[in-house]
Amino acid sequence: MANREKNKKILLELVKLPENNCCADCGAADPDWASCKLGIFVCLTCSGTHRNLPTISRIKSIRLDFWDDELVQFMKANGNCSAKNFYEKCVPVFYYRPHPHDCEVLREQWIRAKYERMEFTEEKTERPYTADVYEGMLWKKGRDNGQFLERKFVLSVHDFTLKYYKEDESKGPKATIYVKNLNATFQPEKIGHAHGLQITYCVEDHTRNLFVYHKNGQEIVNWFNAIRAVRHAYLKTAFPTASDVDIIPWISRNYLKEGYMEKTGPLQREPFKKRWFILDSMDRKLLYFKTQLDAIELGVVFIGSENHGYSVRECVPKGTRGNKWKCGVIVETPDRQFVFMCEQERDQREWVEALKTVISKPMMPQDYTSKTPKPISVDESEYKTAWDSTLRGHCWTVYRVKRLSTRDILFKGKFGGM
């Protein structure tokens, strides 16, 4: 007969091992659950998806449930590392592996791809998201009326484009988007659909958003990974000497912080207006839109480093008018002072912390062309360090480093914008 306390102790010791102390599926720390069919330890959130796969996985609490001796021995013989070596043997380098705070559809489809469809147990010449051309129907939000309508999308690795069409395809694509400056990120809450995907790209120095979804979770995740596959192919072509370790963070990214703030004009005498802000830490940009589902940004604030005169702090501005919110954030730049108002103190703290994260990072060579109204003095040793530590240094040819401005930097190609 099984010894309940003895087996519980064994399980608690197993889950403390370095190879088992994080969720096998999302990497969350200190998992309290296990699949006694797969021999893995998982977190509470991922255990929910496993419960929906009863023929493949069986979930038990390692603290509360009763475990037979045979099941405990099975867990000892397997574990997360063993399962990873089998179920994740051939995951494509571009394929997105979910993190603890990612949305449900990403977690679910990752788990189903591993254990139900067994997509990564062996090398496959064909996967849907690795095709040279990936096409299908997505529900896209209209720019003017806000309605979601079905549109055909075509993603091609041959010319590195994403195209979408209206009803009459004979008239050609409604839009052709080049993947060189494209980003895709899941936004279920913002879009109002569990499978909502935001596609962002640049057109004539303006940021443009597309909001899409598919009713099938597997299909929208296939689209997401197809976009990542083409982005990876583009980056490998543009920067042949860059390693995958350097490239992967640039394939797609989540934004550091989003939310509403009130904003005033440059004179700080204009009435405050409510705007939706997005902080893109990779490009050092604070973009703002009229609403969270606007197609085109109203403006952008470049966020430089502390060494070049940028700072952020909490404040309680006096003499402002038109603002309903009272929790202020001041961003100082070499050119002007920006004043934003947050609704809650929590929002205020989060924005200040997020902006400090960007400001604390050293500026990279390419950042100086993002916004340089005045020449910027740069220490040569600082510049060399930046050069060595950034992927985008692979494509830059710099002829003068003592004084940098858009005229001082001559380059063969700009990352994401060749």
Strand pairing category for 376-377 and 33-35 = unpaired
What amino acid is encoded at 237 in this protein?
Answer: T
The structure tokens listed for 328 are 């202020």
On the 0-12 / 13-18 / 19+ scale of CB atoms within 10 A, 174 is: middle
Q: Residues 120-152: pLDDT tens digits? A: 998 876 789 999 999 999 999 997 778 999 999
pLDDT at 13: 94
Neighbouring residues of 70: CB distance < 8 A, sequence distance ≥ 6: none
pLDDT at 169: 81
pLDDT at 322: 62
pLDDT band at 168 (very low <50, low <70, confident <90, very high): confident
Neighbouring residues of 300: CB distance < 8 A, sequence distance ≥ 6: 207, 285, 286, 287, 288
State which H helix or E strand residue 404 sits in: strand 403-404
Average pLDDT over residues 28-34: 96
Q: What is the pTM of this model?
A: 0.85
What amino acid is encoded at 21 in this protein?
Answer: N
Alpha helices (H) in 295-389, listed in sequence order: 345-359, 380-389
Residue 384: pLDDT over 70: no
Residue 375: pLDDT over 60: no
Task: Please choose, from the candidates 150, 216, 209, 217, the residue with its C-alpha nearest in 3D space to the C-alpha of residue 185.
Answer: 209
Average pLDDT over residues 278-301: 95
Average pLDDT over residues 326-336: 93
Average pLDDT over residues 73-87: 96
pLDDT at 145: 77
Residue 273: pLDDT over 50: yes
pLDDT at 267: 74
Phi, psi of 372 (to 5 degrees): -135, 75
pLDDT band at 350 (very low <50, low <70, confident <90, very high): very high
Neighbouring residues of 16: CB distance < 8 A, sequence distance ≥ 6: none
Residue 45 gets which letter from DSSP? H
The structure tokens listed for 74 are 């099975």
Of the given ranges (159-163, 288-292, 392-396), which has the lowest mean pLDDT?
392-396
Tell me if 130 sits within 8 A of 232, measured CB to CB: no
Tell me, letter by letter, the H, E, C secondary structure of 222-265: HHHHHHHHHHHHHHHHHCCCCCHHHHHHHHCCCCCEEEEEEECC
How far are the Cα atoms of 82, 359, 367, 414 from residue 353, in angstroms, in the given order?
39, 10, 21, 29
The CA distance from 73 to 2, in Å, is: 12
Strand pairing category for 337-342 and 33-35 = unpaired
The CA distance from 104 to 373, in Å, is: 43
Tell me, letter by letter, the H, E, C secondary structure of 291-304: CCCCCECCEEEECC
Residue 346: pLDDT over 70: yes
